[in-house]
Structure 1
């Protein structure tokens, strides 16, 4: 009994399915050209159909185990559907519908960053890769960024960035530095005025103490240094520096120098020797030298005798 009921139930199911198919309209085929469509609702319907097909194929292309050839075919089919979708979107705009091209998807690399690949692999402008197709041989290189070469800056590049702000001439343009310097300047000025007033008060007290003959306190006396005393000290220091410089410039002669008389005597002797060597013979020169030697000896003996008698 149960088997007969199952057969009857299956026949009933087939009968119901057949009746439902009879009620349905014949399946419409999408027009080959978008320009053949004259209805905006139908154009939007065909666009939605293309979007569903693209979604199914994009889900399928995520599987890396499909193989290289299948992945390439799926990627080609997806790009073909995208081009067809663009045609229908353009037709929708012509029929007065919304502009769907403003929110079109961008191409991304393996890290998810949006990139612009105008003509990758020679497939024409706008060709895109999806899912596992991005990791295929020859495709991965399209999405890899070339290593950035750090170019050494030249002297021109360094000086090109130097302007007035580099030297601090524009530090006060934003107004922040002026606001910070104002209170600090007032504080420093008040401290300087206070110190000057204290010194003036100390000077007056010291002058009064000196006139009255009182003893000035050590604490006050250590703080007093009049301008006249400072000038005297400065002049003494400058004088010492000048003396030291003059002393360095002096040249000390350690060899005794002849005076004017000695120089004249030496010049006369030199001239005499030149004349004698020119007009006298060698024998005469020798005799003269012997005579001089004897005269020197005699003069020395006479001088000794004079000294002894004295």
Structure 2
């Protein structure tokens, strides 16, 4: 009994499925050429269908574990769909619809920066890479920026940056240098004025001592003048010693011009003798000079 019910139920299911398929319209295929479409709403519908297919394939290409061959195939399919989408967008514009090409997305690299699309053919929008296809060997190099070469500055560029501030002509414009110099100038003026007043007082006391016959203050003045002379002599002596150290000291006697001329003539004479005279003759001549005590 149960077996018969199952058969009847399966037959009923097949009958219901058949009736549903008959009531449905036959599935339409997208036209091969966008120019065959004459209806704007139909063209927009086909464009939306292509966009959904592109979205599915772009989501699938994000998976890096698909393998190099599958990633390249997916990337090719996406580029093919993008070209087809461009044809439908042009057809929509021709039929008086919205110009979707103005809002097309830009291509980005692995860091999200917008880059130019590599297009060796020079036609269309160029070949694009999506998802994990950007990391394939031979593709990653397309998105790498060349290293920036640091341009060497020329002499003209260096001189162009030199102004009055480089030579220190504007150091006092901020007002800080004037304050520091004013304080230092006051201190130096006060010290110089104190020394001058002390010397004036000593000179006055020396004059009074000379007139009155006292020698205490005069001795003090003479002692101070003697100290100044000794200090000047010591400085002069140190300066002379430094200059002597800088001078070049010759530790061997140097020949004068006559001696150099004689040595040159002697050398030329020996060269001529060695060229035209025999060795025995040269030895006899040397022996004769030695016997006669002739140095030349």
TM-score, with structure 1 as normaliser: 0.49
Residue in 1 aligned with 2:10?
A: 10
Give 1:136-285 correspondences, 5 Å limit.
136-160=136-160
Question: Which runs of 5 or more structure 1 residues have no equivalent in the other structure?
Answer: 170-176, 182-228, 237-310
- Structure 2, unpaired ranges of 5+: 176-192, 201-296
Q: How does 1:31-110 map to 2 (within 5 A)?
A: 31-110=31-110
Equivalents in 2 of 1:160, 1:153: separation in Å?
A: 11
Quick one: distance in 1 between partners of 2:102 and 2:83? 15
Alpha-carbon spacing, 1:153–1:37, altered in 2? closer, same or farther (3 Å): same
Task: Return the alpha-carbon distance in structure 2 between the equivalents of residues 139 and 84 of structure 1.
Answer: 24
**Which secondary structure does the structure 2 equivalent of 1:48 belong to?**
helix
Q: CA offset at residue 107 of structure 1? A: 1.1
> Counterpart of 1:46 in 2: which secondary structure?
helix
Q: Are 1:134 and 2:134 an aligned pair?
A: yes
Q: CA deviation at 1:79?
A: 0.4
Mark the CA change 1:149 to 1:41 in structure 2 (over 3 Å): closer, same or farther: same
8 Å contact 2:43–2:92 — kept in the other structure?
A: yes
Query: Shift of the alpha carbon at 1:15?
Result: 2.1
Q: Name the residue aligned to 1:30.
A: 30
For the residue of structure 1 that corresponds to 2:54, the secondary structure is helix
Equivalence for 2:21 = 21
Q: Is the 8 A contact 2:118 2:128 kept in 1?
A: no
Name the CA distance, whole Å, in 2 between partners of 1:141 and 1:62: 19
Cα displacement (A) at 1:63: 2.1
How far apart are 1:162 and its partner, in Å? 6.5
Whether the aligned pair in 2 keeps the contact of 1:51 and 1:85 (CA below 8 Å) is yes
Q: In structure 1, how many angstroms separate the alpha carbons of the residues matched to 2:109 and 2:85?
A: 23
Structure-2 separation of matches of 1:121 and 1:132: 24
Q: Deviations over 1:273-302 (max 9, x none)?
A: xxxxxxxxxxxxxxxxxxxxxxxxxxxxxx
Q: Structure 1 residue 159: deviation in Å?
A: 4.0
CA distance in 2, matches of 1:163, 1:99: 57
**Post-superposition offset of 1:61:** 1.6
The count of aligned residue pairs is 190
Aligned to 1:277: none
Q: Deviations over 1:109-167 (max 9, x none)?
A: 11222211332699985100111111111111111122222223223234446689999
Query: Aligned partners of 1:29, 1:165: CA distance in 2, in Å?
Result: 78
Give me the whole-angstrom Cα distance separating, in 1, the residues matched to 2:9 and 2:128: 51
Deviation at 1:54, TM superposition (A): 0.9
Say which one has the larger Rg.
1
Contact 1:118–1:125, Cα closer than 8 Å, also in 2: no
In 2, Cα distance between equivalents of 1:2 and 1:43 = 53
Alpha-carbon spacing, 1:123–1:76, altered in 2? closer, same or farther (3 Å): farther
